[in-house]
Structure 1
Protein backbone atom coordinates (compact mmCIF):
# COMPACT_ATOMS: atom_id res chain seq x y z
CA UNK A 1 0.00 0.00 0.00
CA UNK A 2 1.42 3.38 -0.93
CA UNK A 3 0.69 6.64 0.81
CA UNK A 4 0.94 9.99 -0.95
CA UNK A 5 3.35 12.35 0.75
CA UNK A 6 1.69 15.39 2.27
CA UNK A 7 3.32 18.67 1.27
CA UNK A 8 4.35 20.73 4.28
CA UNK A 9 5.22 24.40 4.09
CA UNK A 10 6.86 26.88 6.42
CA UNK A 11 4.90 30.02 7.30
CA UNK A 12 7.31 32.01 5.11
CA UNK A 13 6.67 29.72 2.13
CA UNK A 14 2.92 29.97 2.64
CA UNK A 15 2.98 33.78 2.78
CA UNK A 16 5.14 33.98 -0.35
CA UNK A 17 2.65 31.76 -2.19
CA UNK A 18 -0.56 33.30 -0.83
CA UNK A 19 0.46 36.90 -1.40
CA UNK A 20 0.91 36.17 -5.12
CA UNK A 21 -1.97 33.75 -5.53
CA UNK A 22 -5.14 34.54 -7.43
CA UNK A 23 -7.20 32.71 -4.79
CA UNK A 24 -6.89 32.79 -1.01
CA UNK A 25 -5.70 29.90 1.13
CA UNK A 26 -5.38 29.44 4.85
CA UNK A 27 -2.33 28.02 6.59
CA UNK A 28 -2.96 25.34 9.20
CA UNK A 29 0.11 23.96 10.95
CA UNK A 30 2.16 23.42 7.79
CA UNK A 31 -0.68 22.74 5.36
CA UNK A 32 -2.08 25.16 2.79
CA UNK A 33 -5.86 24.84 2.53
CA UNK A 34 -7.66 26.48 -0.40
CA UNK A 35 -10.74 28.54 0.41
CA UNK A 36 -14.00 28.44 -1.48
CA UNK A 37 -16.10 31.43 -2.49
CA UNK A 38 -19.13 32.55 -0.52
CA UNK A 39 -22.78 32.27 -1.53
CA UNK A 40 -25.09 35.23 -2.11
CA UNK A 41 -26.56 35.05 1.44
CA UNK A 42 -23.04 34.76 2.87
CA UNK A 43 -21.89 37.87 1.03
CA UNK A 44 -25.01 39.86 1.93
CA UNK A 45 -24.60 39.08 5.65
CA UNK A 46 -20.93 40.12 5.57
CA UNK A 47 -21.80 43.32 3.67
CA UNK A 48 -24.66 44.17 6.07
CA UNK A 49 -22.37 43.73 9.09
CA UNK A 50 -19.54 45.67 7.45
CA UNK A 51 -21.89 48.57 6.71
CA UNK A 52 -23.22 48.72 10.26
CA UNK A 53 -19.77 48.46 11.82
CA UNK A 54 -18.46 51.16 9.48
CA UNK A 55 -21.26 53.49 10.58
CA UNK A 56 -20.73 52.61 14.24
CA UNK A 57 -16.97 53.22 13.96
CA UNK A 58 -17.40 56.72 12.50
CA UNK A 59 -15.10 59.05 14.46
CA UNK A 60 -13.78 56.22 16.63
CA UNK A 61 -10.39 54.44 16.59
CA UNK A 62 -11.85 51.17 15.26
CA UNK A 63 -11.44 49.36 11.95
CA UNK A 64 -13.11 46.35 10.33
CA UNK A 65 -11.94 44.19 7.47
CA UNK A 66 -14.02 41.72 5.48
CA UNK A 67 -12.74 38.58 3.80
CA UNK A 68 -9.26 39.75 2.82
CA UNK A 69 -7.43 40.34 6.10
CA UNK A 70 -5.41 37.43 7.41
CA UNK A 71 -5.37 36.84 11.17
CA UNK A 72 -2.44 35.04 12.74
CA UNK A 73 -3.40 32.67 15.53
CA UNK A 74 -0.71 32.19 18.13
CA UNK A 75 0.62 30.04 19.79
CA UNK A 76 -0.41 27.64 17.01
CA UNK A 77 0.93 28.31 13.56
CA UNK A 78 -2.18 29.34 11.67
CA UNK A 79 -3.05 32.11 9.26
CA UNK A 80 -6.79 32.36 8.60
CA UNK A 81 -9.19 34.65 6.75
CA UNK A 82 -12.24 35.40 8.91
CA UNK A 83 -15.34 36.56 7.08
CA UNK A 84 -15.14 39.75 9.13
CA UNK A 85 -12.66 40.95 11.73
CA UNK A 86 -12.59 44.17 13.76
CA UNK A 87 -10.19 45.88 16.12
CA UNK A 88 -10.65 48.90 18.35
CA UNK A 89 -7.50 50.76 19.25
CA UNK A 90 -4.24 50.58 17.33
CA UNK A 91 -4.18 47.58 14.95
CA UNK A 92 -1.03 45.47 15.18
CA UNK A 93 0.34 43.73 12.09
CA UNK A 94 2.97 41.01 11.67
CA UNK A 95 5.09 42.81 9.09
CA UNK A 96 5.38 45.76 6.73
CA UNK A 97 2.89 44.18 4.27
CA UNK A 98 0.08 45.15 6.71
CA UNK A 99 -2.01 42.14 5.69
CA UNK A 100 -1.79 39.98 8.85
CA UNK A 101 -3.70 41.28 11.87
CA UNK A 102 -2.39 40.17 15.25
CA UNK A 103 -4.83 41.79 17.68
CA UNK A 104 -8.49 41.31 16.66
CA UNK A 105 -11.22 42.31 19.12
CA UNK A 106 -14.05 40.66 17.16
CA UNK A 107 -14.09 37.78 14.67
CA UNK A 108 -17.13 36.79 12.60
CA UNK A 109 -17.63 33.62 10.58
CA UNK A 110 -20.73 33.06 8.42
CA UNK A 111 -21.52 29.36 8.49
CA UNK A 112 -21.93 27.17 5.42
CA UNK A 113 -22.58 23.44 5.11
CA UNK A 114 -18.97 22.81 4.12
CA UNK A 115 -17.35 24.87 6.90
CA UNK A 116 -19.69 24.85 9.89
CA UNK A 117 -18.11 21.86 11.67
CA UNK A 118 -14.64 23.38 11.34
CA UNK A 119 -15.85 26.90 12.28
CA UNK A 120 -17.62 25.59 15.41
CA UNK A 121 -14.89 23.14 16.40
CA UNK A 122 -11.20 23.39 15.65
CA UNK A 123 -11.18 26.93 14.27
CA UNK A 124 -13.29 28.22 17.16
CA UNK A 125 -11.00 26.68 19.78
CA UNK A 126 -7.96 28.26 18.10
CA UNK A 127 -9.62 31.69 17.82
CA UNK A 128 -10.31 31.63 21.56
CA UNK A 129 -6.54 31.39 22.19
CA UNK A 130 -6.00 34.90 20.77
CA UNK A 131 -5.49 36.97 23.90
CA UNK A 132 -6.97 40.18 22.42
CA UNK A 133 -10.13 38.50 21.14
CA UNK A 134 -13.24 39.45 23.13
CA UNK A 135 -16.05 38.16 20.88
CA UNK A 136 -16.49 35.49 18.24
CA UNK A 137 -19.70 35.24 16.18
CA UNK A 138 -20.99 32.30 14.17
CA UNK A 139 -23.85 33.39 11.91
CA UNK A 140 -26.13 30.99 10.03
CA UNK A 141 -27.06 32.08 6.53
CA UNK A 142 -30.15 29.90 6.05
CA UNK A 143 -32.05 30.94 9.20
CA UNK A 144 -31.88 33.58 11.94
CA UNK A 145 -29.27 32.08 14.23
CA UNK A 146 -26.27 33.84 15.78
CA UNK A 147 -23.95 32.14 18.25
CA UNK A 148 -22.14 34.83 20.22
CA UNK A 149 -19.10 33.73 22.21
CA UNK A 150 -17.88 36.38 24.65
CA UNK A 151 -14.80 36.32 26.85
CA UNK A 152 -15.44 37.17 30.48
CA UNK A 153 -12.12 36.90 32.30
CA UNK A 154 -10.80 33.40 31.57
CA UNK A 155 -14.24 32.02 30.68
CA UNK A 156 -16.07 32.08 27.35
CA UNK A 157 -19.86 32.34 27.49
CA UNK A 158 -22.29 31.50 24.70
CA UNK A 159 -25.45 33.43 23.86
CA UNK A 160 -27.70 32.17 21.07
CA UNK A 161 -29.88 34.66 19.22
CA UNK A 162 -32.77 33.42 17.06
CA UNK A 163 -35.21 36.32 17.37
CA UNK A 164 -35.11 38.60 14.30
CA UNK A 165 -36.43 41.41 16.53
CA UNK A 166 -33.46 41.18 18.92
CA UNK A 167 -30.43 43.46 19.01
CA UNK A 168 -26.90 42.07 18.82
CA UNK A 169 -24.80 43.89 21.42
CA UNK A 170 -21.08 43.79 20.56
CA UNK A 171 -19.24 44.84 23.71
CA UNK A 172 -15.87 44.16 22.05
CA UNK A 173 -16.31 47.09 19.66
CA UNK A 174 -19.04 49.13 21.37
CA UNK A 175 -21.77 48.60 18.74
CA UNK A 176 -25.38 47.46 18.68
CA UNK A 177 -26.87 45.98 15.52
CA UNK A 178 -30.53 44.98 15.01
CA UNK A 179 -30.54 41.29 14.06
CA UNK A 180 -33.12 42.02 11.36
CA UNK A 181 -30.57 44.29 9.66
CA UNK A 182 -27.92 41.54 9.61
CA UNK A 183 -30.33 39.44 7.53
CA UNK A 184 -31.67 42.35 5.44
CA UNK A 185 -32.49 41.40 1.82
CA UNK A 186 -32.63 37.70 2.69
CA UNK A 187 -35.62 35.41 3.10
CA UNK A 188 -34.54 33.17 5.97
CA UNK A 189 -36.66 30.45 7.57
CA UNK A 190 -39.77 31.53 5.72
CA UNK A 191 -39.58 35.11 6.95
CA UNK A 192 -40.11 37.86 4.44
CA UNK A 193 -36.95 39.52 3.24
CA UNK A 194 -36.25 42.75 5.04
CA UNK A 195 -35.68 45.72 2.77
CA UNK A 196 -33.34 48.50 3.73
CA UNK A 197 -34.27 51.88 2.28
Structure 2
Protein backbone atom coordinates (compact mmCIF):
# COMPACT_ATOMS: atom_id res chain seq x y z
CA UNK A 1 0.00 0.00 0.00
CA UNK A 2 1.44 3.35 -1.02
CA UNK A 3 2.00 5.99 1.63
CA UNK A 4 2.06 9.79 1.57
CA UNK A 5 4.03 11.63 4.30
CA UNK A 6 2.88 14.65 6.26
CA UNK A 7 5.13 17.72 6.28
CA UNK A 8 5.27 18.10 10.08
CA UNK A 9 7.27 16.22 12.69
CA UNK A 10 5.40 14.67 15.61
CA UNK A 11 6.09 12.70 18.76
CA UNK A 12 4.87 9.14 19.12
CA UNK A 13 2.11 10.31 21.49
CA UNK A 14 1.04 13.00 19.01
CA UNK A 15 0.71 10.31 16.38
CA UNK A 16 -1.28 7.93 18.59
CA UNK A 17 -3.63 10.70 19.66
CA UNK A 18 -4.35 11.58 16.05
CA UNK A 19 -4.51 7.98 14.85
CA UNK A 20 -7.06 6.94 17.45
CA UNK A 21 -9.44 9.60 16.19
CA UNK A 22 -8.83 9.05 12.48
CA UNK A 23 -10.96 7.09 10.02
CA UNK A 24 -7.86 6.44 7.91
CA UNK A 25 -4.79 4.42 8.85
CA UNK A 26 -1.35 6.06 9.12
CA UNK A 27 2.16 4.89 9.89
CA UNK A 28 4.67 6.77 12.06
CA UNK A 29 8.32 6.78 10.99
CA UNK A 30 10.80 8.92 12.96
CA UNK A 31 8.44 11.82 13.55
CA UNK A 32 6.63 11.77 10.24
CA UNK A 33 3.10 10.48 9.74
CA UNK A 34 2.33 8.64 6.52
CA UNK A 35 -1.22 8.24 5.24
CA UNK A 36 -1.75 4.74 3.87
CA UNK A 37 -3.37 4.42 0.48
CA UNK A 38 -5.80 1.71 -0.60
CA UNK A 39 -4.92 -1.77 -1.78
CA UNK A 40 -5.43 -3.72 -4.97
CA UNK A 41 -7.91 -6.58 -5.34
CA UNK A 42 -5.04 -9.09 -5.40
CA UNK A 43 -3.48 -7.59 -2.26
CA UNK A 44 -6.79 -7.65 -0.39
CA UNK A 45 -7.60 -11.22 -1.48
CA UNK A 46 -4.19 -12.53 -0.42
CA UNK A 47 -4.51 -10.86 3.00
CA UNK A 48 -7.90 -12.48 3.59
CA UNK A 49 -6.69 -15.88 2.41
CA UNK A 50 -3.67 -15.74 4.70
CA UNK A 51 -5.67 -14.72 7.75
CA UNK A 52 -8.19 -17.46 7.09
CA UNK A 53 -5.43 -20.07 6.88
CA UNK A 54 -3.69 -18.81 10.02
CA UNK A 55 -6.81 -18.46 12.16
CA UNK A 56 -8.15 -21.91 11.25
CA UNK A 57 -4.85 -23.59 12.19
CA UNK A 58 -4.24 -21.60 15.38
CA UNK A 59 -7.50 -22.57 17.08
CA UNK A 60 -6.78 -24.35 20.36
CA UNK A 61 -3.15 -23.18 20.46
CA UNK A 62 -1.47 -20.43 22.54
CA UNK A 63 -1.23 -18.31 19.37
CA UNK A 64 -3.78 -16.06 17.69
CA UNK A 65 -3.96 -14.27 14.35
CA UNK A 66 -4.43 -10.50 14.23
CA UNK A 67 -5.95 -8.37 11.49
CA UNK A 68 -4.22 -5.56 9.54
CA UNK A 69 -5.76 -3.02 11.93
CA UNK A 70 -3.43 -3.89 14.83
CA UNK A 71 -0.53 -1.45 15.13
CA UNK A 72 2.97 -2.74 15.93
CA UNK A 73 5.69 -0.67 17.63
CA UNK A 74 9.33 -1.25 16.75
CA UNK A 75 11.41 1.46 18.38
CA UNK A 76 11.93 3.48 21.57
CA UNK A 77 9.26 3.44 24.26
CA UNK A 78 9.57 7.13 25.22
CA UNK A 79 6.24 8.92 24.87
CA UNK A 80 7.74 12.17 23.63
CA UNK A 81 10.27 10.61 21.27
CA UNK A 82 10.23 11.43 17.57
CA UNK A 83 12.11 8.21 16.83
CA UNK A 84 10.65 4.82 16.09
CA UNK A 85 8.19 3.02 13.86
CA UNK A 86 4.49 2.44 14.45
CA UNK A 87 3.21 0.37 11.56
CA UNK A 88 0.42 -1.90 10.38
CA UNK A 89 1.32 -5.39 9.17
CA UNK A 90 -0.92 -7.14 6.65
CA UNK A 91 -1.25 -9.96 9.17
CA UNK A 92 0.45 -10.93 12.39
CA UNK A 93 0.43 -13.67 15.01
CA UNK A 94 1.10 -13.33 18.72
CA UNK A 95 1.77 -16.32 20.97
CA UNK A 96 1.13 -16.30 24.69
CA UNK A 97 0.03 -13.14 26.47
CA UNK A 98 0.03 -10.07 24.20
CA UNK A 99 2.01 -7.06 25.44
CA UNK A 100 0.96 -3.53 24.52
CA UNK A 101 2.37 -0.01 24.33
CA UNK A 102 -0.22 1.44 26.72
CA UNK A 103 -3.63 0.94 28.29
CA UNK A 104 -5.42 1.32 24.93
CA UNK A 105 -4.13 -2.17 23.94
CA UNK A 106 -4.00 -1.27 20.26
CA UNK A 107 -0.20 -1.25 19.73
CA UNK A 108 1.37 -4.71 19.94
CA UNK A 109 4.92 -5.17 21.25
CA UNK A 110 5.50 -8.93 20.95
CA UNK A 111 4.44 -10.44 17.62
CA UNK A 112 5.78 -13.90 16.78
CA UNK A 113 5.00 -13.69 13.06
CA UNK A 114 4.60 -10.68 10.76
CA UNK A 115 3.31 -10.91 7.19
CA UNK A 116 3.70 -8.19 4.59
CA UNK A 117 1.95 -8.54 1.22
CA UNK A 118 4.17 -6.65 -1.20
CA UNK A 119 3.07 -3.70 -3.30
CA UNK A 120 5.34 -2.03 -5.89
CA UNK A 121 5.38 1.23 -3.91
CA UNK A 122 6.32 -0.33 -0.55
CA UNK A 123 8.34 -3.45 -1.42
CA UNK A 124 11.75 -1.80 -0.94
CA UNK A 125 10.74 -0.48 2.50
CA UNK A 126 9.21 -3.80 3.57
CA UNK A 127 12.33 -5.72 2.55
CA UNK A 128 14.80 -3.15 3.88
CA UNK A 129 14.24 -0.56 6.58
CA UNK A 130 11.02 -2.05 7.93
CA UNK A 131 12.57 -5.50 8.37
CA UNK A 132 15.67 -3.92 9.95
CA UNK A 133 13.51 -2.20 12.57
CA UNK A 134 11.38 -5.25 13.20
CA UNK A 135 14.43 -7.47 13.71
CA UNK A 136 16.27 -4.92 15.87
CA UNK A 137 13.42 -4.04 18.24
CA UNK A 138 11.08 -7.06 18.34
CA UNK A 139 12.83 -9.80 20.30
CA UNK A 140 9.70 -11.94 20.09
CA UNK A 141 9.70 -12.00 16.28
CA UNK A 142 10.54 -15.41 14.85
CA UNK A 143 9.20 -15.26 11.30
CA UNK A 144 8.78 -12.55 8.69
CA UNK A 145 6.92 -13.37 5.47
CA UNK A 146 7.10 -11.28 2.31
CA UNK A 147 4.27 -12.33 0.02
CA UNK A 148 4.27 -11.27 -3.62
CA UNK A 149 1.01 -9.97 -5.08
CA UNK A 150 2.24 -10.37 -8.68
CA UNK A 151 3.31 -14.02 -8.70
CA UNK A 152 3.06 -17.09 -6.45
CA UNK A 153 6.17 -16.45 -4.34
CA UNK A 154 6.65 -16.16 -0.58
CA UNK A 155 10.01 -15.16 0.90
CA UNK A 156 10.50 -16.41 4.45
CA UNK A 157 12.94 -14.93 6.96
CA UNK A 158 13.26 -17.10 10.07
CA UNK A 159 15.22 -16.30 13.24
CA UNK A 160 17.03 -19.32 14.66
CA UNK A 161 18.04 -20.02 18.27
CA UNK A 162 21.31 -18.14 17.77
CA UNK A 163 19.44 -15.01 16.67
CA UNK A 164 20.50 -15.35 13.04
CA UNK A 165 18.03 -14.74 10.23
CA UNK A 166 17.75 -17.53 7.66
CA UNK A 167 16.22 -16.90 4.24
CA UNK A 168 14.20 -19.31 2.15
CA UNK A 169 11.82 -18.76 -0.75
CA UNK A 170 8.96 -20.92 -1.99
CA UNK A 171 7.48 -20.52 -5.45
CA UNK A 172 4.63 -21.97 -7.46
CA UNK A 173 1.06 -22.96 -6.68
CA UNK A 174 2.17 -26.53 -5.93
CA UNK A 175 4.51 -25.36 -3.15
CA UNK A 176 3.80 -25.16 0.57
CA UNK A 177 5.43 -23.08 3.32
CA UNK A 178 5.81 -24.51 6.83
CA UNK A 179 6.06 -21.94 9.63
CA UNK A 180 7.39 -24.10 12.45
CA UNK A 181 7.24 -21.47 15.21
CA UNK A 182 3.43 -21.44 15.08
CA UNK A 183 2.84 -24.90 13.58
CA UNK A 184 1.11 -23.64 10.43
CA UNK A 185 1.26 -24.82 6.83
CA UNK A 186 0.54 -22.35 4.05
CA UNK A 187 -0.19 -24.04 0.71
CA UNK A 188 0.43 -21.42 -1.95
CA UNK A 189 -2.59 -22.63 -3.92
CA UNK A 190 -4.72 -21.52 -0.97
CA UNK A 191 -2.78 -18.34 -0.26
CA UNK A 192 -3.36 -17.28 -3.88
CA UNK A 193 -6.86 -18.69 -4.31
CA UNK A 194 -8.91 -16.48 -6.70
CA UNK A 195 -5.93 -14.21 -7.39
CA UNK A 196 -5.35 -13.33 -11.04
CA UNK A 197 -1.75 -12.52 -11.85
CA UNK A 198 -0.74 -9.99 -14.53
CA UNK A 199 -0.23 -11.63 -17.90
CA UNK A 200 3.40 -11.73 -19.00
CA UNK A 201 4.17 -10.07 -22.29
CA UNK A 202 4.83 -12.56 -25.05
CA UNK A 203 8.36 -12.66 -26.38
CA UNK A 204 8.71 -11.45 -29.99
CA UNK A 205 9.29 -14.17 -32.55
CA UNK A 206 12.98 -14.85 -32.98
CA UNK A 207 12.70 -16.68 -36.30
CA UNK A 208 11.30 -13.76 -38.24
CA UNK A 209 13.31 -12.93 -41.37
Structures share fold, TM-score greater than 0.5: yes
1:126 aligns with 2:133: yes
Which structure 2 residues correspond to residues 91-130 of structure 1 after superposition, within 5 A? 91-129=98-136, 130=138
TM-aligned CA deviation for residue 57 of structure 1: 1.0
Within the alignment, does 1:185 sit opposite 2:164 as a pair?
Answer: no
Who is 2:19 aligned against? 18
TM-aligned CA deviation for residue 163 of structure 1? 2.4
Contact 2:42–2:196 (CA<8 Å) still a contact in 1?
A: no
1:171 aligned residue (173, 180, 185): 180
Using the alignment, how far apart are the partners of 2:7 and 2:117 within structure 1?
29
Distance in 2 between residues matched to 1:181 and 1:6, nearest whole Å: 41
Cα shift at 1:6: 4.6
User: Could you tell me how far apart the structure 1 residues matched to 2:7 and 2:188 are?
Assistant: 43
Inter-partner Cα distance in structure 2 for 1:32 and 1:187: 33
Choose which of 149, 155, 167 in structure 2 pairs with 1:141: 149
**Number of corresponding residues:** 187
Displaced runs of 4+ in structure 1, greater than 6 A? none
Gaps of 5+ in 2: 1-5, 77-82, 200-209
Q: Distance in 1 between matches of 2:36 and 2:182?
A: 27
**Equivalent residue number for residue 194 of structure 1:** none
Task: Give 1:189 deviation, angstroms.
Answer: 6.1
Does residue 160 (structure 1) correspond to residue 169 (structure 2)? The answer is: yes
* Equivalent pair of 1:87/1:173 in contact (CA under 8 Å): no
Which ranges in structure 1 are unaligned for 5 or more consecutive residues? Answer: 191-197
Residue 188 of structure 1 and its aligned partner are, at CA, apart by 2.9
Secondary structure, counterpart of 2:140 in structure 1: coil
Is residue 2:58 matched to residue 1:54? no
What root-mean-square deviation, in Å, do the aligned CA atoms of Structure 1 and Structure 2 show? Answer: 1.7
| Structure with bigger RCO (C-alpha 8 Å, 6+ apart) | 2
Matches of 1:38 and 1:104, distance apart in 2: 23
> Which is further off, 61-70 or 102-111?
61-70
Give the superposition deviation at 1:74: 2.6
